[in-house]
Amino acid sequence: MRNEHTRLQRDWVSKQMVIGVQSPRGEKWDTVRIPDVLVLPKAQWRALQNQEAVIRLGEDPPVLVVEVVSPSSQSIDYRAKRSEYSVLDIPEYWVIDPVEDKVTVFTLSEGWYDEAVFTGDARIVSPTYPDFPLTATQLLQGEL
């Protein structure tokens, strides 16, 4: 992803499992999800370094969240997080699913996520990363 940030001339950074996102659960806001990969502006990352690394409700959402499915997390990654991330206005999130050999890209539109599913040699189509060069197979093999 770093190559894509440079190519697109975006001042973004991607971080693996170090930043939490405050999340509603049971109508409470005391849960924090820690995505497998989170993309955010570098300025936001610098601000988080001086405090607890949690993006809270009302703060700018991350640019992109990526979740990697395990057999025990399928329902959470596809259902619970879809609902929670839409409330947080996260514009795009990906679910990389090695269990079912597919990548799903969820794009926020008017408060709801549209989804596109990619398998095999299909190139990933993403509004955040136009002309993203990787296929579903490459992502499933860990080439993020």
Distance CA 61, CA 81 (A): 14
**CB under 8 Å to 59, separation ≥6 — which residues?**
none
Residue 65: predicted pLDDT: 92
Name the residue ranges covered by the structural domains of the chain: 2-140
Kindly give the confidence (pLDDT) of every residue in the chain, 144 residues in length, as a single tens digit, with 9 standing for 90 and above. 666 666 667 778 788 877 888 887 656 667 788 888 999 888 888 888 777 778 877 888 999 999 999 888 888 888 888 888 888 899 999 999 999 999 999 999 998 999 999 999 999 999 998 888 889 999 999 876
**Coil, helix or strand at residue 107:** strand
Residue 120: predicted pLDDT: 96
**Nearest residue to 63 via CA among 40, 42, 82:** 40
Evaluated on CA atoms 12, 116, 91, 70, the torsion sign reads negative
Q: How far is CA 116 from CA 20, 64, 106, in A?
A: 25, 15, 7
Residue 83: predicted pLDDT: 85
Tell me the pairing of strands 37-41 and 12-16: antiparallel
Quick one: tokens of 124? 């990933």
2-140 is classed CATH 3.90.1570.10: yes
Distance CA 64, CA 72 (A): 23
Residue 42: predicted pLDDT: 87
